[in-house]
Structure 1
Amino acid sequence: MGNSVVGVERRVKKRIEDSFKAFMSKHFSRGPGLVKVYAIENCITIYCKNILTPLEKKLFIEDKEGELLIKSFREKLILNNEVEFLNMVNDSIDTTISSYYIDFNIKDDSLACVFILN
């Protein structure tokens, strides 16, 4: 594949999607309902929908502070498993990740990850 992600093959995107679902299922007790992978230039973006567990939804609905609790809990879990998290992408491509960004949108029940590649 070389150092560019332009034209990432469908099977590579599928492998990243499957790895992401497995990671989420392992660490959050359930996987997202939807996972989409997009690749442009040196960026890979992963978008997920329906990420919250029933308990998290109940927490968020009943308590405004629940949103902050859910975000901090999920961010902490990812940081504690950062190597495994980054390997979801690294194991599927021909280059390494230089940085990444993640945002949980609790109100929208979604998350987005952007991986910047070397």
Structure 2
Amino acid sequence: MGSAESVTFGAIKALAGGRVYPDVAPDGAARPYVVYQGVGGVDETTFDGADTLQNSRMQVAVWATTRGEASTIIQQVRAALTAEPVRGVPIGAPVSVFEDDTKLYGSRQDFSIWYQE
């Protein structure tokens, strides 16, 4: 029982030195860090009502001071979220970004995660 957020956090909480946050990192967070958020999913509601098996599309983003570090950590995220017990399915490959304002390198990827509500 739980939520997609709790399942995701449970799988990746040790990455990036434990700097893993929902939605947005706090001001002044040390780098690298990971943020995650739900960005949709598959609705399993039928005429019989909602199912306890739910789906969420979780987006995970890594922010680091180098491209290499961002790429390495997103690979660790993928390994953690596709392994037991989560068995998430990647939706596309990681997307690389650069944030000019902060001079941070980012890598983000979406995952389809099924969980028991």
- TM beyond 0.5: no
**TM-score, length-normalised on structure 1?**
0.43
**TM-score, length-normalised on structure 2?**
0.43
Structure with greater strand percent: 2
